[in-house]
Amino acid sequence: MIEPVDNTLDSSDWTHTEDNEIVSAHDFCLALCLARLSQYLTLHSPPAGAVMDIKQLKFLIALEQTRHFGQAAARCHITQPTLSMRLRNLEDELDLVLVTRGQRFEGFTEAGERVLAWARTLLAAHDGLFAEAAACRGQLVGNLRLGLVPLSSFNPVTYIQGLSRSFPELKYSLSSLSSDQIIEGLGNNQLDLGVCYLDHVNPSYFEFFEIGETRVGLLYDNRHFHFDGTQMSWEDAAELPLGMLSNGMHYRKSIDLSFRSRGLDPQPILESDSTYQLLQAIHEGFCCAIMPLDSGLEEPIEHLAFIELPDASVLAPLGLVMRKTEPRSAIAEKCFAEARTLFSRTD
């Protein structure tokens, strides 16, 4: 992990020039950005003679994400020979073999895995610097990388619509991941924020807050099923043909607990690790499924409807999570703070 950098500048050093002229807040923020970059490069300067650039690190990470030379090259908008050449240049500069090559990509060496961790950190610092400079100009420019657990009561579209009103130049990357993957992604700077279950979140390393009660209901197609009233008992739900997420997933464990606590043991007619496949099966009338209310799942598909299942058992609350330690981008900090405001309005 990168050592924390002391970003403190005494006010006597920046509020006045030698001519006693007050320095603007914009100039001070720019000076702070440059100071951070200078200190970071001092702590992590490359060997003498190295000429690596940020693109080489981007190519390395693209290869990690795609596990395929051709796909990595396409993602970076270059040819495969160019990608291979730049990665070999990086290996030469570091005097290390990073990639195990055969007829095709086979994986990363142990040294390659360690360099990848640094590459992610350096790219996060690079992107964070530009985001910080934009924030000093009163802007928030860049890409918010948000990880989300599948089938939560959190609707990301509502959140990013609220962010877009405050930060119109911001772009978004959404990834569906497990809670453990989100925590890992936040820790190695692959994510800015995460929406996950809070039972395994260490408050020493992460800031977080709960984002509301998890309520669930039975999602069904009203052309194939009809139910009276606004609520259904868990006993009645257990008698229906049910589709569920695969065993082992956090949301599935909560649903199983809700049934077991009532002495019920329904046998699903369909199991899948894909929400999309469950929605397809529901739409065709093959099954119903227990899904989070307020998730917006029924809105894009005609004929889908919810009926509430009260008093669901929840293994852990859902929360928005951000890493505490540096490097942490202005995008993460601003969007985390904005989320607190947005969710306080909806409580």
- The model's pLDDT over 103-112, given as tens digits with 9 standing for 90+, comes to 788 899 999 9
Residue 77 buriedness (CB in 10 A; 0-12 / 13-18 / 19+) = exposed
Residue 296 or 240, more confident: 240
Percentage with pLDDT > 70 across the chain = 82
Spell out the residues 6+ positions from residue 186 whose beta carbon is closer than 8 angstroms to its own.
Answer: 147, 192, 193, 194, 206, 321, 322, 323
Which range (18-22, 142-146, 324-328) has the least confidence? 18-22
- Which of 18, 34, 5 lies closest to 26 in space, CA to CA? 34
Task: Tally Cβ neighbours within 10 Å of residue 68.
Answer: 15
Distances from the Cα of 36 to the Cα of 117, 137, 262, angstroms: 20, 17, 57
Q: Give per-residue pLDDT as tens, 234-245.
A: 999 999 999 998
CA dihedral 250→252→258→261, nearest 10 degrees, is: -80
CATH topology of domain 216-309: D-Maltodextrin-Binding Protein; domain 2 (3.40.190)
Arithmetic mean of pLDDT, 189-217: 89
β pairing state of 206-210 and 318-323 = antiparallel
Q: 124 pLDDT exceeds 80?
A: no
The 10 Å Cβ neighbour count of residue 58 is 17
Distance CA 251, CA 267 (A): 16
State the CATH architecture for 144-212+317-347: 3-Layer(aba) Sandwich (3.40)
**What is the distance between the alpha carbons of residues 144 and 323, in angstroms, rounded to a whole number?**
14
For the chain, what is the total number of helices (H) and then of strands (E)? 12, 12
29-67 per-position pLDDT tens digit: 555 555 554 554 455 455 555 556 888 998 999 998 888
- Measured CA distances, 1 to 4, 5, 116, 254, 329 (Å): 9, 12, 13, 34, 16
Distance CA 163, CA 127 (A): 19
pLDDT in tens, 15-34: 444 444 444 554 555 555 55
Q: pLDDT-derived band of residue 292, with 50, 70 and 90 as boundaries? A: confident
pLDDT for the residue numbered 3: 41
Encoded tokens for 51: 């000429």
Structure tokens at 258: 């809700």
Report pLDDT for 345.
61
Q: Residue 330 — very low, low, confident or very high, per pLDDT cuts 50/70/90?
A: confident
